[in-house]
Amino acid sequence: MNLLRFYGDHAREAFGLLGQHLVLVGASTFLAVLIGVPLGVLLTRRPAWRGPVLGLANVFQTIPSLALFGFLIPLPFLGGIGARTAIVALVVYALLPIVRNTYVGISGVDPAVREAGRGMGMTDGQLLTMVEIPLGLGVIFAGVRVATVVGVGTATIAAAIGAGGLGVYIFRGVSTVDDTLILAGALPAAILALIADGLLGLIERRLAR
């Protein structure tokens, strides 16, 4: 009830923060796909890099967000305060599922199919775009889905570095011990995560077919 009244009084602000949140998640997931998918493909071509690269992505995931922000603030280009730094951090957190699933999706393609492609005289690039990626797409997309859903939750930490988003309500609520405020941020973030999961799940099932 308190919560509804709160939204009634702060509708503009709440929608603004929701919008910022969507931009943060969208931009960071998009960039993570741009970086993560080629990286995952590269790992299938250079198996020796698999351990170090996945290990590093794993380590990135364990860095607490405030510590990561602390490291990022002094960096030129990537760092500072505001949305850019927050997106860099979110990309770092989103990389692991995307890289790993791309690698798994492509290396899971039936070797016989790959051989058939080679036999037809396909180059490595053709094999990748015409055989491996289409066949691995379901698994790759599952990684993107995980990254997005996790990202919706993780993006609440962007508020710690002045990037806004629904985390603003959570941080304000925590600092003033106001449960309504905490819920005002946490509840829409949870709903958003469920919606994103549902929608991406639908697409994933299409792709897997």
Partner 1 sequence: MTGGLSVSRTVGRLSAVVLALFGGACSHRDRIVIGAKNFTESDFLAELLAQQIERRTGLPVERRLHLGGTYVCHEAITSGKIDLYVEYTGTAYTEILKHPPIADADSVYRADSLEYAKTLGLTWGRPLGFNNTFAITVRRADAEKYGLRTISDVARIAPRLRAGFGYEFLQRADGFGGLARAYGLRFAAPPTAMDLGLTYRALAQGNVDLIAGNSTDGTIQALDLVALEDDRHYFPPYDAAPVMRTELVTRHPEVARALAELAGKLSAAEMRRLNLAADVEHRDIAALAREWLAKNLP
Q: What is the dihedral of CA 209, 45, 146, 79, to 10 degrees?
A: -150
Measured between alpha carbons, how far is 157 from 26 in angstroms, rounded to an integer?
15
Q: How many C-beta neighbours within 10 Å does residue 52 have?
A: 10
User: Shortest distance, CB of residue 64 to partner 1, whole angstroms?
Assistant: 11
For residues 74 and 108, the answer to whether their CB atoms sit within 8 Å is: no
Determine the Cα–Cα distance for residues 119 and 138; give it in Å rounded to an integer.
Answer: 25
Residue 38 CA to residue 191 CA, distance in Å, equals 31
Q: Which is nearer to partner 1, 66 or 202 (CB)?
A: 66
Q: CB of residue 75 vs partner 1: minimum separation in angstroms?
A: 9
CB of 131 to partner 1, least distance (A): 47
Taking the least distance from each CB to partner 1, the nearer of 1 and 177 is 177
Judged by CB, which is closer to partner 1: 42, or 174? 174
CB of 94 to partner 1, least distance (A): 21
204 neighbors 197 (Cβ within 8 angstroms): no
Distance, in Å, from the CA atom of 87 to the CA atom of 80, rounded to the nearest integer, reads 11
When the beta carbons of 83 and 142 are compared against partner 1, the nearer one is 83
The values of phi and psi at residue 190, to 5°, are -65, -45
Residues in touch with partner 1 (CB under 8 A)? 66, 69-70, 73-74, 79-82, 159-162, 168, 171-172, 174-177
Q: Which CB, 153 or 162, lies closer to partner 1?
A: 162
- What the block records as the tokens of 193 is 């995560």
Q: Taking the complex as a whole, how short is the minimal distance between the CB of residue 4 and partner 1, in angstroms?
A: 21
State in angstroms the smallest separation of the CB of 82 from partner 1: 7
| Residues 181, 169 contacting (CB under 8 angstroms) | yes
CA distance 34 to 161: 24
Cβ proximity to partner 1, 25 vs 170, nearer residue = 170
